[in-house]
Amino acid sequence: MTIEPIQTRPLIPPRDDLLGVMRESIQKLREKSVVVITSKVVSIGEGRCISMQSVKDKDTLIIQEADQYLPRAAPFDWVMHTIKNNLFIPTAGIDESNAAGHYILWPRNPKRTAKKLWQWLRATYGVKDIGVIITDSHTIPLRRGVMGISLAHWGFSPLNDYRGKPDIFGRELKMTQTDVADGLAASAVLVMGEGSERTPLAVITEVPFVQFCEKPRVSRKPFSSFEIHTKDDLYYPLFAHLKWRKGKGGR
């Protein structure tokens, strides 16, 4: 697998021309590539930015954007935990870094945007098998630092299913599935950086394990959907004991 970070000019909030910047910065694309785009520049392209001066209370904005939220309870009360778009994420994904005095919200509909970007890439660069991932950074419990996660993808299967196949000693695998979308996102975000690198794009090539497709993968086996309902999740016993409050879901 090869990851090429793509440096661009800064995209300026509250709105900028994302497609124009991509066209300037990516000269060509090979078949069977995956284009990774940070959610921040996608949001700037959509104008999903709010001046900090216009927001009296950030917590109110977080509740407005979150699907569910917990009152501030982390050490030192410095973060509000939320669920948004079926992801457990601090502050509903609202970001202040590299934002020029704005709060940058998540894209309004990341899945729809990923599909539109996939369509644009195919038409613009004349490729058929291409993948798109919109990323953000998140944290892992009991670990410092952030790593990349996929908010949305298009053009490839997000899971590789090993169930029913033998391991190296012939034992049939019962549960193992590989999260391709988040694995690619984490690798790309690591290379793209988190600070002043100005590399909000990356192109991943040489990925024989990625199954490209034109339509979303349909899960036919039990427990084979990419997203998991909260009550079916491995960590549900932890979530179930928290006093979640209903947010406004970005409406």
The proportion of the chain whose per-residue pLDDT surpasses 90, expressed as a percent, equals: 84
> What predicted TM-score, i.e. pTM, was given to this entire model?
0.94
pLDDT category of residue 224 using cuts at 50, 70 and 90: confident
Q: What does the CA dihedral 226, 66, 95, 104 come to, rounded to 10 degrees?
A: 100
Note every long-range contact of 163-172, with CB atoms under 8 Å and residues 24 or more positions apart, other chains counting: 163/221
DSSP class of residue 171 equals: P
Give the pLDDT of residue 251: 74
CATH 3.30.1330.100 residue window(s) in the chain: 1-46+107-225
Question: Is the domain covering 1-46+107-225 a CATH 3.50.50.60 domain?
Answer: no
Give the pLDDT of residue 221: 83
Residue 219 has pLDDT above 90, yes or no: no
Give the pLDDT of residue 10: 96
Residue 76 has pLDDT above 70, yes or no: no
In whole angstroms, how far apart are CA 2 and each of 136, 160, 187, 193, 215? 20, 19, 10, 16, 25
Residue 178 corresponds to which amino acid? T
Residue 74 has pLDDT above 70, yes or no: no
